[in-house]
């Protein structure tokens, strides 16, 4: 037999149902907006690919633009050091 789940009333939990419902609905709405934005981004990448741009390179540029300039310079210096150590630079 399946195990029964104890159900509590809002009075027993002290959780206001309207407030919880409001949070849930806000999260659902934002999640829906996030999905729509993701679709828009995919469309932009499809467009740039159709014009001959390399999507992988564009993603790399976007990643670099998000980085702090000092952190990026440090990461590049470490990469150069490692490549040089391996005889790849």
pLDDT of residue 44: 98
pTM exceeds 0.85: no
- Tell me the pLDDT tens digit for each residue of 43-89: 999 999 999 999 999 999 999 999 999 999 999 999 999 999 999 98
Helices (H), 1-89: 10-13, 17-50, 55-66, 69-85
């Amino acid at each position: 037999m399946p195990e029964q789940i104890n159900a509590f009333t809002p009075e027993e939990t002290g959780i206001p149902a309207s407030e919880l419902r409001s949070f849930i609905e806000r999260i659902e709405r934002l999640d829906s907006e996030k999905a729509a934005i993701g679709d828009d981004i995919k469309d932009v990448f499809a467009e740039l690919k159709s014009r001959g741009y390399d999507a992988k390179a564009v993603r790399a540029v976007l990643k670099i633009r998000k980085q702090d300039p000092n952190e990026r310079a440090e990461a590049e210096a470490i990469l150069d050091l490692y490549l040089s150590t391996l005889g790849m630079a």
